[in-house]
Structure 1
Amino acid sequence: MPDHQNDVTLPLPLFPGSHMVLDDDYVFLSGLTAADIQGGEAVIGDIVEETRLVMRSLQRMLNSAGCEMGDVVRSDVHITDLDMTRDMDATYAEFFDGHDYPARTCSQTPRLYGGGHVEITLMARRPKQEEADSEAQEEEESD
């Protein structure tokens, strides 16, 4: 049975949905814009800072579900002007190791919630329990 969760650091969604839905294998994160994040209105208009703020929030949400950015298998990026893609891409890429990027769709959307210029949605594969236990044991041994 899926587990529907809302992130305590974000306002409750204004739409009929959840910030995160977890099942045994995946974590699905709803699209997030800078306007969804407290204080995000201060960066609206700067595609680099909007992207950085959104990606940091998504990363934190994944971490709360026991995932990392390396577990992301798919992303959907909506941007108000495809001419800003290069700047958005440079910031987006900072959140992934090497060239291990998730499958992605990037589309131009003329209007996003709160006047933001980028909205990003992620889907991540949850580590198997034995993998998570093994990683936790390795961390304990290294401390």
Structure 2
Amino acid sequence: MKEIINSSKAPAPIGPYSQAVKAGNTLYVSGQIPIDQSTGKLIEGTIEEETDQVMKNLQFILEEAGLSFERILKCSIFVSSMNDFARINEIYGKYFNDNPPARETVEVSGLPKGVNVEISCIATFQ
């Protein structure tokens, strides 16, 4: 059985998908891009500002499900340029104090709305 998780603090999906789906003891969080839900606008600043907004959006969804970053098992990071890798890593790392999750980072030719970074994750309730 699956349960749909949506947070009013995170951006509404821009397509036919849910912000997150809980199945058993696992939460699958859809890729988040740097949209500020309070304004509905894309963050079009530095890659650090974009990454921070993406991480906040993930946090809002995790919190709606009753979880935190400590429960994340794996993240997938999609970037428009690997030249931004170190700067993204710097912001991303601030959200994981100990025992960071497994992860891959992939450069892609394009992301929704022309953003530079998108991150999804898988978390556990156990």
TM-score, length of structure 1 as denominator length: 0.80
Task: Say if 2:105 is the partner of 1:120.
Answer: no
State how 1:46-125 maps to structure 2 within 5 Å: 46-98=46-98, 100-125=99-124
Q: What is the percentage of aligned positions where both structures have the same residue? A: 26
Question: How far apart, CA to CA, are the structure 1 residues paired with 2:75 and 2:24?
Answer: 19
Higher-Rg member (1/2)? 1
Q: Can you list the C-alpha shifts for 1:105-130, whole angstroms capped at 9, x where unaligned?
A: 10001211112100000110113xxx
Q: Which has the higher strand share?
A: 2
Q: For the aligned residues, what is the CA RMSD?
A: 1.7
Structure 2 unaligned regions, length at least 5: none
Confirm or deny: 8 A CA contact 2:80 2:110 kept in the other structure. yes
Between the aligned partners of 1:35 and 1:56, the Cα distance in structure 2 is 10
Shift of 1:36: 6.9
Asked if the contact 1:78/1:109 (under 8 Å) is kept, the reply is yes
Residues 10 and 122 of structure 1: CA distance in aligned 2, closer, same or farther (over 3 Å): same
Matches of 1:29 and 1:117, distance apart in 2: 19
Deviation at 1:24, TM superposition (A): 2.3
Shift of 1:45: 4.3
> 1:73 is matched by which residue type in structure 2?
L
1:35/1:115 contact within 8 Å kept: no
- Note closer, same or farther for the CA distance 1:110–1:37 as it changes in structure 2 (3 Å cut): farther
The TM-score with structure 2 as length reference comes to: 0.89
CA distance 1:11–1:54, shift in 2 (3 Å): closer
Against the structure 1 CA distance between its residues 46 and 30, is the aligned structure 2 distance closer, same or farther, given a 3 Å change threshold? same
Unaligned runs of 5+ in 1: 128-143
* Cα drift, residue 14 of structure 1: 2.7
Secondary structure of 1:21's partner? strand
| Partner Cα distance (1:10, 1:27) in 2 | 16
Deviation at 1:35? 3.6
How many equivalent residue pairs? 125
